[in-house]
Amino acid sequence: MHSLYPLYKTYLQQIADIKYASAVLQWDQETYLPKNGNYTRGRQIATLNEIAHEKFTDAKLGNLLKELFLEENLTATEKRNVQLTQDDFDRNKKIPAAFVYKMSSVINVGYHAWVDARKQNSFVVFEKPLQDIITIKKEEAELLGYQKHPYDALMNDYDKGLTVDIVDKLFAVLQPQLSLLLNAIAAKPIIDDSILRQYFDKSTQWELGVETLKRMHFNFDAGRQDISEHPFTTNFSNSDVRITTRIDENDFANMLWSCIHEGGHALYEQGLPEHEYGMPLGEHCSLSIHESQSRLWENCIGRGESFWKFNYEMLKQKFPQQFNNVTIQQFYTAINKVQPSLIRTEADELTYHFHVMIRYEIEKLLIEGTIVAKDIPTYWNEKYQKYLGVNVPNDVQGCLQDVHWGHGSFGYFATYSIGSLYAAQFYAAIKKENAIVENQLSVGNNLDVLHWLQKNIYAHGRFYNSEELCKKATGENLNSKYFIDYVTCKYKSIYNL
């Protein structure tokens, strides 16, 4: 009797082809699409998403999965693919194809309204389209089902099993510990980071970003970088991974750490098993794990002293006028300055989590119906004053700064903080296994870090959930102690606490 597994694999790969074709259109939408193409592009994406959903929820796949569960000769990998596909099939069957088309269309309108709202610096332009997105995401939560909170259904899409209870408890522990460290830093002299806010030519910044990505071993033969309104990473296979950045000629940090952050995401996608294309084991574990990869490269490495011992000369060669009279220690302290600010993507490692907590709280209230879209600016501004002590001067620097709501990505934000916790734990495991890793980074050797990640994170795809993968890689479940120890040690040294 011939196994049905090859037929199943071909079927899933055909669905992946459709989804990635849609992803190409979405990437183009955010990079090169002419303005007048907005409506038609939205229709094209909605149609492809509907076709992929119909094909994935077809009884043909359901029957194929039933027969595969009866096969006795499948390998452990094949069995896991089948099991995960069944989980995905059961979830997707709850969502009608017509609803998928409708939601895609609503989100397309919302995304372009967000872009226009940013140009006009007016949340009002985005308010109605955003409320439409919120409404349809609430409908999606009801279709998917949940035990306690409707927001659980949406967070589960980004990290399987993640719930409001889990995140509330996590933040309840993290917030006071971060506040203590921030208060201690606030009592110290403010670090001068004005060297980062000189004039930096756009094309030279671009060259620096590309060279930095090459030194991280991002494969430009299997990917590319472009400019977008909000930096992001997308992929169409592990051999075609696209990242974007944005450049501010008066803010050096904006571009470079966006490149490093998105480069961390991209290395993960390029490292996923090629032979599992279209299969669950060819996909990332979760968004929390994905964020761990970007945050590990951006902060543990990219804001680390060892990394710049090697790379600082390149920086001075690109910008001699700006950095020739600046020591590496001055540069290192400047890029690690801690100060409450307005923009999440530009925030330091400590205050960053308050940005995330504010967004998480807003999303939770929106999905449960306690507040609506028009309440967001007021709530946002009040929380920024309460948590970070900063006044929000306008909507672009406030509640219009993130693309996520325009994408319909409700349930995503908590994974940024959780990813930072995983990143610190993974980096501690790397250093425990390789005691000279910091020395290696100081001479430009990033390969041992990359090889550890390839072996312990990338290679497994979705075989394990986040907690299981963390335990396999580090020997224990997620433990926020590693992150607190990491930032405490780092900032005690920088600020002489």
HEC per residue, 105-126: HHHHHHHHHHHHHHHHCCHHHH
Please check whether residues 64 and 203 belong to one and the same domain. Answer: no
Please check whether residues 94 and 200 belong to one and the same domain. Answer: no
Please check whether residues 122 and 183 belong to one and the same domain. Answer: no
Please check whether residues 119 and 227 belong to one and the same domain. Answer: no
Active-site residue, selected from the candidate residues 30, 127, 262, 276: 262
Take residue 406 and report the two structure tokens written for it.
């325009």
Are the CB atoms for 383 and 361 separated by under 8 Å? Answer: yes
Please check whether residues 87 and 181 belong to one and the same domain. Answer: no
Q: Exposed/middle/buried for 147, CB within 10 Å: 0-12, 13-18, 19+?
A: exposed
Q: Which of 25-39, 372-386, 405-419 has the lowest mean pLDDT?
A: 25-39
User: Residue 432: which domain range?
Assistant: 164-495
| 441 in a structural domain | yes
Query: Which of 89, 115, 145 is the last residue in one of the domains?
Result: 145
Please check whether residues 131 and 175 belong to one and the same domain. Answer: no
pLDDT score for 42: 87
Please check whether residues 221 and 114 belong to one and the same domain. Answer: no
Give residue 98's identity as a one-letter amino acid code. Answer: A
Are the CB atoms for 424 and 300 separated by under 8 Å? Answer: yes
Query: Which of 100, 115, 145 is the last residue in one of the domains?
Result: 145
* Beta carbons within 8 Å of 342's beta carbon, 6+ residues apart: 384, 390, 392, 393, 397, 398, 401
Q: How many residues does the chain have?
A: 497
Is a pLDDT exceeding 90 seen at residue 189? yes
Spatial separation of the C-alpha atoms in residues 235 and 339, rounded to whole Å: 34
Q: What is the DSSP letter of 399?
A: T
| 478 in a structural domain | yes
3-state secondary structure of 482: helix
Please check whether residues 253 and 346 belong to one and the same domain. Answer: yes
| 152 in a structural domain | no
pLDDT score for 346: 85
Spatial separation of the C-alpha atoms in residues 107 and 96, rounded to whole Å: 17
Please check whether residues 121 and 214 belong to one and the same domain. Answer: no
Please check whether residues 139 and 232 belong to one and the same domain. Answer: no
pLDDT score for 228: 87
Mean pLDDT of the chain: 95
Spatial separation of the C-alpha atoms in residues 272 and 454, rounded to whole Å: 8
| 155 in a structural domain | no
Are the CB atoms for 462 and 281 separated by under 8 Å? Answer: yes
Query: Which of 145, 178, 198 is the last residue in one of the domains?
Result: 145
Q: Which of 260-269, 327-336, 343-352, 463-472 has the lowest mean pLDDT?
A: 343-352
Please check whether residues 139 and 231 belong to one and the same domain. Answer: no
Take residue 269 and report the two structure tokens written for it.
């996608």
pLDDT tier at 1 (50, 70, 90 boundaries)? low
The CATH number linked to 282 is 1.10.1370.30
The dihedral sign for the CA sequence 483, 484, 490, 494 = positive
Overall number of domains in the chain: 2
- Rounded (5°) CA angle 210-214-220: 80
| 314 in a structural domain | yes
Are the CB atoms for 342 and 392 separated by under 8 Å? Answer: yes
Q: What is the pTM of this model?
A: 0.93
Spatial separation of the C-alpha atoms in residues 444 and 412, rounded to whole Å: 33
Measured in whole angstroms, the distance separating CA 415 from the mean position of its chain's CA atoms is 8
| 431 in a structural domain | yes
| 283 in a structural domain | yes
pLDDT tier at 256 (50, 70, 90 boundaries)? very high
382 has catalytic annotation: no
| 151 in a structural domain | no
Please check whether residues 187 and 138 belong to one and the same domain. Answer: no
The pairing of strands 240-245 and 233-237 is antiparallel
